[in-house]
Structures are given as structure tokens and as C-alpha cells.
Homo-oligomer: A and B are copies of this chain.
């Protein structure tokens, strides 16, 4: 089959690789129907996150089950399924608690020895613990399929940020970052009942989506200027809940600074600024909490899927471009240059 391989910074290729097969009785092989490129893939693309030469890449996909091992009971060949961005055994203490990202048998797509999501098929370890079945008839509805693809990462991650930040009905929320996760954070905050949602971002096409997702205000500034703007919009108090969806030193600093005393920052941007943006003195004086991390998407997919199917939420607009598998390198380039927000891969 053909799959996306990373050879080094700015060197993404689509190559012939061995076809995946069921190796263990708990495996399934899934034929990819839709996949996509994540903002976090760009850290590897840019050489900021280290990758071995020749490693697979991509961690978001949905598809049709092609074959299953003897012990797989929840999905069967022909089923339409979505995978969260980590696999997990589904039976350990952490999986039972809904923190599948800490499953001792879990792993991240594309790590050495595993398939990535940006390929024609994927061997899925612990299929029962990992995959979530989707309605078969969704295959004929491209918009719905796209919305469901978002559950594998961005929508679940935006939801994790909102949950971690403690978004409650009536809350004032600020969202730092206008990438796909930030936008999904706006949608998640709206879904959880936020009354006021301030989106921080300077890219007009993106903040326009933020508004359709429920943002009531947009702050097109950064740093101290952005902090002042949010304070002004909130009567000087700041936001009860702040979603940090970037992962840099500056974004973390801004997130903490715009939080209301006693409020919380829900952070899901992969931290690339170390702890330098974490102003612990300010957090201490104002009782601002810092919660979040890698989102246990598997825990969230069922409830978010229900809302996608009912039409209550539709994250599909975060995908503003699509490429066939051979176009994946162009997709990375477009996202790196910010000419595309999030690129869908069609098969």
C-alpha cells in the first residue's frame, strides 16, 4: 500500500510500504476512507519534534474494517469506524477511568513499528479498546464523514481544553489560538453552555469560523495588547475559563494572564515553550489553575459523536482544504505556510 513517511524536516513523502496485516488476535486492519494533517504534525515537519528517518506519520483517520483478529468482538469487517489519536487496550485502570492516553499498552500512530494515519490502511492494536463504530450510512454523506473525522483529534482535543478549563453554563471563556483545535475549543465551550466566548486570533478567515462556532468577541492582538483587550471586555476581571491551544511560551503566558482570579487554563497545545510561559507567581496570587494535556479522545468520542449525528455540533468547517494521498506533501506545505487551516486527505 501507499503511506506517508517523514524523512526529515520538510521532507514528507508518499511511498510504497508493506500492507498491514493482523498480527495479534486483538488487532484489526482498517482501510482508510478519510484522514487529515494535524497542526502537531507540523512540529515534526519543521524538525522541532524529533522523528526517526522513515517513520510513518499521521494520527487521525476513519475507515472501514478490513479484517480482525480472533479476539476482536466489537467491530467486524465492513464496519465504518473512527480511531482516536492514540490506541489503548480498553481494559486497564486508566481506560476504565477515561484516561486512555495513559493506558500502559497504548501508543501513538506513527511511532516506530506502527502505521500512521496518513496511509491507505492501518493496523490497529487493541481494536476493541480503540475503535468507535460509526453509522454505516454515514459513508454517503461527505460532510458528516468530515465532521466525524474531527472526532479523532481536533474536536476531542478542543473539548478536553474546555473541560479542563472548567467551562460551565454561563461562563465567560477565552480561547487562545485560532488553529483548528482553538476553533473546536470555541465549539466545545459553546456546547458546554458558555455565555461569552472571546476568541484570540488574527487570521480573519479563521476568526470568521470562530464566530460561526459561537465566539461572541474576537481579539486580533497578541501579548500584552491581547491581555488588555480581554480584561477590558470582561470588566477588568478576565475569563473564568481559558483554553490554550497553541503551546508556545507566549500563548501560555497570555492564557494565564487573561484568566479570572480563581479560574482555570485548560491547555492542550503541545508545550514547546517549556515552563517559561507558566507564571507560577501570578497563578499563586490569583489562584489560577492549569489543567489539561493530551486529550483522551477515546473517552469523548461517544458523547461528541451523538452530538455530531444529531446536528448539535458540526466541526467540519475546520477542514478548508482537501488533497488526495499523493498531495499530502503539498498539504503540509499549505498548513506550514498557513494558507490552509486543516487539510483533509481523501482516498
Could you tell me which A residues sit within 8 Å of B by CB distance?
93-94, 97, 99, 101-102, 164, 237, 252, 261-262, 264, 267, 270-271, 274-276, 278-281, 283-294, 296
Distance in Å: Cβ of A296 to nearest Cβ of chain B: 8
| A271 B281 Cβ-Cβ under 8 A | yes
Partner of A290, one of B285, B286, B289, B294: B289
Distance in Å: Cβ of A249 to nearest Cβ of chain B: 10
Q: 6 A-B Cβ contacts within 8 A? A: A102-B261, A102-B287, A270-B284, A271-B280, A271-B281, A289-B290
Distance in Å: Cβ of A181 to nearest Cβ of chain B: 14
Other 10 A-B pairs with CB < 8 A, given A102-B262, A287-B294, A290-B290: A93-B237, A99-B287, A101-B287, A102-B286, A270-B284, A271-B284, A275-B279, A275-B280, A284-B292, A291-B291
**6 pairs of A and B residues whose beta carbons are closest in the complex:** A102-B261, A287-B293, A289-B291, A284-B293, A275-B278, A99-B262
How often does this chain occur in the complex, in copies?
2
| Prevailing SS type, chain A contact patch | mixed
Q: Which residue of B lies closest to A278 (CB)?
A: B275
Residues of chain B within 8 A (CB-CB) of A291 are: 264, 289-291
| B284 A99 Cβ-Cβ under 8 A | no
Q: Which residue of B lies closest to A104 (CB)?
A: B236
State in angstroms the CA–CA spacing of A288 and B164 once bound together: 11
Q: Which residue of B lies closest to A236 (CB)?
A: B104
| A280 B274 Cβ-Cβ under 8 A | yes
Residues of chain B within 8 A (CB-CB) of A287 are: 99, 101-102, 292-294, 296
Partner of A294, one of B101, B164, B285, B289: B285
Q: Which residue of B lies closest to A160 (CB)?
A: B287
Q: With A102-B261, A275-B280 known to touch, is A289 a contact of B289 (CB < 8 Å)?
A: yes
